[in-house]
A and B are shown apart, each in its own frame.
Chain A
Amino acid sequence: MSYLEYRVQTVPTGFSKVLYLNWGLILLLTAVSSMGFLMLYSVAGGSLTPWAEPQMKRFALGMVAMFVIAMVPVYFWRNIAALAYLVSLLLLVAVEFVGTTGMGAQRWIDIGPLRLQPSELTKITLVMFLAAYYDWLDIRKVSRIFWVILPVLIILLPTFLVLRQPDLGTAILLVAGGGIVMFAAGVHWAYFATVIGAGVGLVAAVLKSRGTPWQLIQDYQFRRIDTFLDPDSDPLGAGYHITQSKIALGSGGWTGRGFMQGTQSRLNFLPEKHTDFIFTTLAEEFGFIGAASLLTLYGLIIVFCIASAMTNKDRFASLLTIGIAATFFLFFAVNMSMVMGLAPVVGVPLPLVSYGGSAMLVLLAAFGLVQSAHVHRPRGPA
């Protein structure tokens, strides 16, 4: 596809591009990240170290990356999408052999001073590649069986590699994120209905098989399910995190205990209080008002992205924007469900708020892609 398609004369060039950025989105991202800095400052007991300061630095770095990516025309990103996907696959394979083990799973590769987490990168490159795939694919073939199986394989390949690490949270995000891109691209309803139906059936079969001779999963796996359904049954074991997190969250009330006044997080009851469970600190210290505010900010980010995608006539740009918005949504939806006891503990961070370098950088880079799509959208009469 040629550059001409984008109607050069109406697309901003040079530094004037900055004026065409989606500034509302940037404001929202900054607001969410700032809430993160505040919480990291609080859980460290009122200290910039060890979390808040490095997080701010990464945010600054991520913002720079976002601007740079936004300046690059979106067709460039479409053209390298396949390459990016392949590179991330290779990195996932490399992690198997040279990866550093952390938290019981192999997730990092150390390249000089840089610590790379390929599974984070893959979440974005997968969405990019799928968007490029559907941009390339003839629109009439989208729901044909062969052209449906192909993207399914594209999704399952990195998912399989990620599961081997093992990292269930990322695997869920990859499947759901990829599925949403396929859905947005217009794959027929029936496929999704079939997959969801089969999934529900499988879960039902597994649960039914308990205690029968044809039991499908191990006893200990059933016990984990029990713990999720009733955390109090194992208050000091696996249910501990859920119970503690619910207590912290619930005790926040309307307005919370006040900044830096959360007893639960202060007294170390919360596990992973600076990463996966940071939302409980926010909920405890700022109550329902604080928690709902964050949720609103997240919601606005989604709305801005969807709106940008719907007004964009370019197929790749639209799908990419929707895919990234969906991935972002999955992050906070899974994390919040988890800390509220609606989903099992799978280890997904709260986007832009949880402490963590890779996730922050990758997310801001992804929003750089969204910005690029926004800036370089086709303009004028079609």
Chain B
Amino acid sequence: MRRPPKDTEESARRITRRGLVLGGSMLAFMSVLAGRMRYMQVDQAEEFRLLAEENRINIRLIPPARGLIFDRTGQPIAENVQNYRIVIVREDAGDLDETFAKLRTLVPLSDDDVERALREVRRRSPFVPVTIADQLDWEDVAEVAVNAPALPGVTPEVGLTRHYPLSADFAHVVGYVGPVSDYDLSKLEDPDPLLQIPKFQIGKIGLEAKREDQLRGSAGTKRIEVNAGGRVMRELSRQEGQKGADLQLTLDHDLQNFVNARLGSESAAAVVMDVNNGDILAISSAPAFDPNLFVRGISVKDYRALTENDHRPLADKSVQGTYPPGSTFKMVTALAAHEAGVVTAGETIYCGGYKQLGTRRFHCWKRGGHGFVDLHDSLMRSCDVYYYELAERVGIEKISEMAKRLGIGIRHELPMSAVAEGLAPTKAWKEARRQESWMVGDSLNASIGQGFVLASPLQLAVMSARIATGEAISPRLVKSVDSVEQPILTDGPIGLPPTTLQQVRKAMFSVVNSRRGTAYRARLLPDEMEFAGKTGTSQVRSVVVKNSEVPWEQRDHALFVCFAPYDKPRIAVSVVIEHGGGGSSAAAPVARDIVARALHGDVPPLEVYPAGERAKVAEIFESMPLRSRESGPNVSDRA
């Protein structure tokens, strides 16, 4: 079939018309493109040149080395060790599943690790390096490095990570670091750019958290030429940051180790303080945990083991834990009453086993009563009725004020987590808190450290130190920052007449060294080790039953406070053993051993103990898991 010529003509004309329109439009659009090109390349060229320059040069942060933490002898408590990790850059990696499968044959990777890494890789931009595995051995990293050609986009890196060579010994004091979390960032108004570095370690708890500002240091910067893969082509310039400050603590790592070991498996706390300058020589909460577990990211299983333990290893009982101080509080009541002049040192009060107050009877722990007792005897034999009487005479306000002067019921500013304030109750406090008026009975309970009174082991040690010296010394944990000695905190004399103080001290001496004292069995023989103390047994329940007949968690707390040596005090010690039973039987021997260890400078010889005690002490020393002093902590093979 042949088209009529007219149609062909018409068709050709139409195509020519439309072709011209089309060609014209195309050329018009190309002029737009050319115009845009000219605008970008000529008119805006300067601007884009600048952007290009910025693009090529990238400023990266150099994470500073975290400040080290030493004990008073220079032994490292927290240090930085080299840490090998492998990172992946998705853009360079090719097939992710294949790469991970290959990697798993070389490096131990759990399913969790792989899943977490894959999730992060997908979430982030393709050029951002993502950490696949952390805390690797050199052998593993070497394997990856050798197989590098088969693993595109995967590179081993070296960084620094925190390590606590003394493991659990300083877990509660120093705390631990961990990777910065979104929650941490949300708490900060203007976060340090360092915190944006993935997995940057910051202090999570304890000294590491409280002194984060000093320990962190400041970031350095380096200008580097990078490609879009984030790969560094070369370094152009470098400005070093400021390393974190090194902290030297007042703690003595050997003493701390001894105290930890001596507390053993008890749920307990002990504080050893230098009475003259407030230095905390040892501060221990038992049981403890290995802070290194948290640095690596603790496993669910380990964490559960810690949280489900009824001895609460994660709690720092030494400063967070508050306990009714029991009879260890009697010095406070005695000093308050004597300073107020409502009683004299020689005055005797009759103890018939209880004190009648209205219709209520307040019992002495000794049912038969102590007979006539003065200050010295009442403290030595821990008579309760004497203090009931004093409390009735002097009133709670004076007792509370004296407690605060001696360091109970006020917060001591130690760089540790959740330092408790304790409680020295007043009438106003009870009315505000409980909407009830203060009863005389409350004062009587408070006088023997029961009822509302609460004190932490740290506060009890401070109290002992202040009684021992008469100075309002405050505890100090950080000895120096970058070798700059930190000030000793003292408010000067506590303003008690030396004679009264001396009478209390003498009574405390008798507690330990008099045949009728409640802690006579816990005495030490050498003159230079004679010490003064006070036992305390604080009730957890109200019904009086023998401790051996009730379950562990209902038994009394055992407490002991002391200072040593008696004639020229150097240290104050407090020991609290949760549900340990009686202060004289459970807490005093622990305190005694700590005193002997601290004064002797090493594990003391058995000769310092009374003959009847030596066998028992020898057995305890035998079973104590002390760290060997000769070999020292095993750090050399990690660096």
The chain A residues found within 8 Å of chain B, CB to CB, are 1-2, 5, 138-139, 180, 183-186, 236-237, 240, 244, 246-254, 263-264, 267-271, 283, 287-288, 291-292, 295, 298-299, 302-303, 306, 309-310, 313, 315, 318-319, 322, 325-326, 329, 333, 336-337, 340, 342, 382
Residues in A neighbouring B231, C-beta threshold 8 A: 268
Cα distance A241–B1 in the bound complex, in angstroms: 55
Q: What are 16 residue pairs bridging A and B, where the CB atoms are less than 8 Å apart in the complex?
A: A138-B7, A185-B15, A246-B48, A247-B55, A250-B45, A250-B47, A251-B45, A253-B45, A264-B55, A267-B228, A268-B228, A268-B231, A302-B23, A302-B30, A309-B15, A340-B36
- List of A residues within 8 angstroms of B44 by Cβ: 250
Contact yes or no, A319 B15, CB < 8 A: yes
Measured between alpha carbons, how far is A269 from B2 in the docked complex, in Å?
A: 60
On whether A337 and B33 interact (CB within 8 A), knowing A183-B22, A288-B42, the answer reads yes
Q: 4 closest Cβ contacts across the A-B interface? A: A250-B48, A268-B227, A251-B52, A306-B23
Q: Does B26 contact A (CB under 8 A)?
A: yes
The reply to whether B37 and A283 contact each other, CB–CB distance below 8 Å, is: yes
Q: Does B125 contact A (CB under 8 A)?
A: yes
Contact A250 B41 (CB under 8 A): yes
**What are the interface flags for B511-530 relative to A under an 8 Å C-beta threshold, 1 for contact and 0 otherwise?**
00000000000000000000
Secondary structure of the B side of the interface?
helix
Are the C-beta atoms of A248 and B52 separated by less than 8 Å? yes
| B125 & A288 in contact (Cβ 8 Å cutoff) | no
Q: What's the minimum C-beta distance from A182 to chain B, rounded to whole angstroms?
A: 10
Q: Is the CB of A295 within 8 A of B22?
A: no
Closest chain B residue to A187, Cβ basis: B18
Are the CB atoms of B51 and A315 closer together than 8 Å?
no
B229's nearest neighbour on chain A, judged by CB, is A268
**CB-CB contacts of B13-27 with A at 8 A, as 1s and 0s?**
011101110110011
Interface size on B, residues (CB 8 A): 46
- Contact: B19 with A306, CB < 8 Å? yes
B98 → chain A closest CB, angstroms: 15
With a CB–CB cut-off of 8 A, which chain B residues contact A268?
Answer: 227-229, 231
B residues at A contact (CB < 8 Å): 1-2, 5, 7-12, 14-16, 18-20, 22-23, 26-27, 29-30, 33-34, 36-38, 40-42, 44-45, 47-49, 51-52, 55-56, 125, 225-229, 231, 233
Interface SS of chain A:
helix
Q: Which residues on the B side are within 8 Å of A295 (C-beta)?
A: 30, 33-34, 37
Q: Which residues of B contact A253 (CB under 8 A)?
A: 41-42, 45, 49
Whose C-beta in chain B lies nearest to the C-beta of A337? Answer: B33
In the complex with contacts A254-B45, A271-B228, A313-B8, A329-B26 CB distance below 8 A: yes
Cβ-defined contact, A186 with B15, below 8 A? yes
Which residues in A have their C-beta under 8 angstroms from that of B30? 295, 298-299, 302, 333
Taking a contact as CB atoms under 8 Å apart, the answer to whether A310 and B233 are in contact is no
A249 x B41 contact (CB < 8 A): yes
Q: Please, which residues of chain A bring their CB within 8 A of the CB of B125?
A: 236-237, 240
Taking A186-B18, A326-B22, A342-B33 as given, write out 20 further A-B residue pairs in contact, using a Cβ cutoff of 8 Å, ordered by the A residue number: A1-B2, A185-B15, A244-B228, A247-B51, A249-B40, A249-B48, A251-B51, A254-B45, A264-B56, A267-B227, A267-B228, A291-B41, A292-B37, A309-B15, A310-B20, A318-B15, A319-B15, A326-B26, A333-B33, A340-B33
